[in-house]
Structure 1
Amino acid sequence: MSMLTPPGMGGKYRITGNRYPRMRRPRQRRRIVLASIATVCALSLAAWGTLQLIDIFSGGSSASASSGQDKSKAKGAKCTDDAKTQAAGKGKPGDGEKLPEPDSVKVNVLNATDRSGLAKSTADELKKRGFKIGEVANAPGEFDGKVKETGVVLGAPGEDGVARLKVLGTQLDDADTRFDERKGDDVDLIIGDAYKKLAKKKDAEDALKGLSAAGASPSGRDCSR
């Protein structure tokens, strides 16, 4: 008779089989909580990594857009400051780039062609248009017979020198602008083989006005963009 058979049963009832009740230890709540937190952290880290990868492969569009907005704000602020400066009388709207008047530009007219009298006739026309005339002669050896284009305007570098060359350049179509290391404030007009005559006076005046209008804002940039 089995040891599990209750007394008095006489073996009528037996407990058979090999499955017995087992005592299970109570679950620990703390472990469950910690496992849940670890799972949440892992999912969050995976999501963050995915977003970083998307940002990298998309070229960082969000950062670029933010940077562009910042630059736009800064540019707008600068243009506003320029407008305030003009309103305060430090720069009037439409004044544009300050260019010298023709009567303050001294021009040396030099003939690099084999056509005689060209320097004299050109100098006379420039004088009528208000320019000061300096030397009128043949071009030096480095230019004589070597200027194939309409002409060359030559002067000192720097802001003032460039301004004088711009004013003189309006009088000649397709002039080549060059710089040298001269000390004076005069400029040279070297007549080349393709030269026929100066630009029409009306066209030259319009070109000069266009140069001034191009610098309508103090820094010469377009604040509307």
Structure 2
Amino acid sequence: MSFARVRALVVVGGLAVVALVFVVVALVKDTQSNAGSGEGCPSDWPRADVTLRESKDVKINVLNATDRPGLAGTVADDFRNRNFQVKKEATQKKQIDDVAVLRYGPKGVSSAHLLRAYFLDNAEYEYDVKREDDVVDVVLGGGFQQLATTTEVNQSLGDLGAPVAPPGTCPMPIED
């Protein structure tokens, strides 16, 4: 074996040892091991579900707050075709001008986050800390045109990042 090969093996071996030391130090000194677990939160604060859901796990009510008849049914069908669990479709008497309003409680935080992407983050949000179910009310307003395409939803989710617990709540402990 030539001197150049021995020298190259020594350099590569040394780099491997240095990389291993860095990995061990990073794991031992990790200060974020409990991040997102809700530790350190007051016990009387509600726990918000911040685990991003798939559409098949999201329950919604679709409400029409426009003067366009049948809008709730049409959009509910669009959501069903995208594997959402549509619980109810109805008409709301009070009309709104927004694209949509998402109403949810602590258990619906992650579901509302996913739905934000279907409206390209143009929906208004009404968080109710006292709401105890995991259903999100999707109230369609006068500014609504259509739901985003799959590609647009994926891009919007990338822009939105991970769900965040609203003020006054703590994230639910992460399940293993």
Instruction: Give the TM-score range, shorter chain.
Output: 0.5 to 0.7
Aligned to 2:16: none
Distance 1:150 1:99, change over 3 A: same
TM-score by length of 2: 0.60
List alignment gaps of at least 5 residues for structure 1.
1-76, 86-96, 216-225
Does structure 1 retain, via aligned residues, the 8 Å contact 2:55–2:83? yes
Structure 2: how far apart are the matches of 1:115 and 1:211? 30
Mapped pair 1:120 → 2:73: yes
Greater relative contact order, per chain length (Cα 8 Å cut-off, separation 6+):
2
Aligned to 1:165: 112
Q: Report runs of 4+ in structure 1 exceeding 6 Å deviation.
A: none
TM-score, length basis structure 1 = 0.48
Residue of structure 1 equivalent to 2:91 = 138
The root-mean-square deviation of aligned C-alpha atoms, in Å, is 2.9
Flag the 1:186–1:117 CA change in 2: closer, same or farther, 3 A.
same
**Higher helix content, 1 or 2:** 1
Larger CA Rg, structure 1 vs 2: 1
Which residue number corresponds to residue 147 of structure 2? 198
CA distance in 1, matches of 2:108, 2:67: 29
Q: CA deviation at 1:182?
A: 2.6
The answer to whether the Cα contact below 8 Å between 1:99 and 1:212 also exists between their aligned partners in 2 is: no
1:207 corresponds in structure 2 to 156
Q: State the shift of 1:198 in Å.
A: 1.0
Identity of aligned residues (%): 31
CA, structure 1 residues 82+102, in 2 after alignment: closer, same or farther (shift >3 Å)?
farther
Q: Counterpart of 2:22?
A: none
Q: Provide the C-alpha distance between the structure 1 equivalents of 2:52 and 2:28, rounded to a whole number of angstroms.
A: 23
> For residues 166 and 214 of structure 1, do their structure 2 counterparts lie closer, same or farther at Cα, with a shift above 3 Å needed?
closer
Q: 167, 170, 177: which one pairs with 2:125?
A: 177
The answer to whether the Cα contact below 8 Å between 1:150 and 1:194 also exists between their aligned partners in 2 is yes
| Number of residue equivalences | 122
Q: Distance in 2 between matches of 1:175 and 1:190?
A: 9
Deviations 1:160-194 (A, max 9, x none): 32211101111113000112333221001000011
Residue identity in the other structure for 1:105: V
Contiguous gaps of at least 5 residues in structure 2:
1-25, 34-49, 165-176
2:172 corresponds in structure 1 to none
8 Å Cα contact 1:111/1:192 also seen in 2: yes
Larger proportion of strand: 2
Alpha-carbon contact 2:52-2:162 (below 8 Å) kept:
no
